[in-house]
Each structure stands twice: as structure tokens, then as C-alpha cells.
Amino acid sequence: MAKTVLLVEDDPFLIDIYTTKLKEANFLVEVAENGEIALKKIEEKIPDLLVLDIVLPHVDGWETLRKIKEDKKFKSLKVIILSNLGQRSEVEKGIGLGAKKYLIKAHFTPSQVVEEIKKILK
């Protein structure tokens, strides 16, 4: 059965690229443009993996990740942070808050990101 990835990203160009790449890899893809929408979608149906940007309108990625990890229902939800924020302190914060991986957008092609997602969902 196909795994579901919820992509939390506000850049339409990146949404398009990642949605295409993930679908090519046989993932079902849901998109949320901000953390608020993401949290609503997760309440309705927990995806297999969340790909989370940090810089988002309304509710940012940090707040979203914190809310997910505080809720026992979502304990098993795997989160990959995909962000332009590349400071070591931010990477450590992301992992500290419970993200499985922290990928810096500039360092990974969309195909490489899909490979990382496959590894985590094995």
C-alpha cells in the first residue's frame, strides 16, 4: 500500500517539484501551506511521514513540530525537516524536538530528498 507524505511548504514552486517527485516514487502526497493547516490534516488522518518547512506563515515549523510531539496520538509520526535554515543550532533544535532528519534545502536535490524519505519509511 502506498505511503502518505504530508508536505508542509508554502513555496508553490517547491510544492510542485516535491509533489511530482514523491508521486513518481509512488507516494500519496498531501500538501499544507502552513502549520495550522498541517495540524488540521494530521487530526483527520495521520500520514506516514511529515516533510516540514520551518519558515511558514501563521504557525511556523517549530510550533508545528512542538504541537505534534506534545500529543501522544502522534507519537509515531515521523518528521523530516526540510528547510533553508542551516545553522547548527537550528539543526540541533529540530532533532531535539523529535525530527528524524534535518535536511537543508540547498544541500539536497528533490530526488535526494525522496531517497531520504524512502530510507525512513522502510
24-56 burial by CB neighbour count: b if 16+ within 10 A, else e?
ebebebbbbbbbbbbbebbeeeebbbbbbbbeb
4-121 fold? Rossmann fold (3.40.50)
Read off the pLDDT of residues 12-33 as tens digits, 9 standing for 90 and up. Answer: 999 999 999 999 999 999 999 9
**Dmax (CA) of the chain:** 37
Q: Give the C-alpha separation, 26 to 19, whole Å.
A: 11
Mean pLDDT of 73-99: 95
pTM value is 0.96
Report pLDDT for 75: 85
What nine digits make up the cell of 107?
544541500
* Residue type at position 37: I
Report pLDDT for 74: 94
Mean pLDDT of 28-56: 97
Domain boundaries, the chain: 4-121
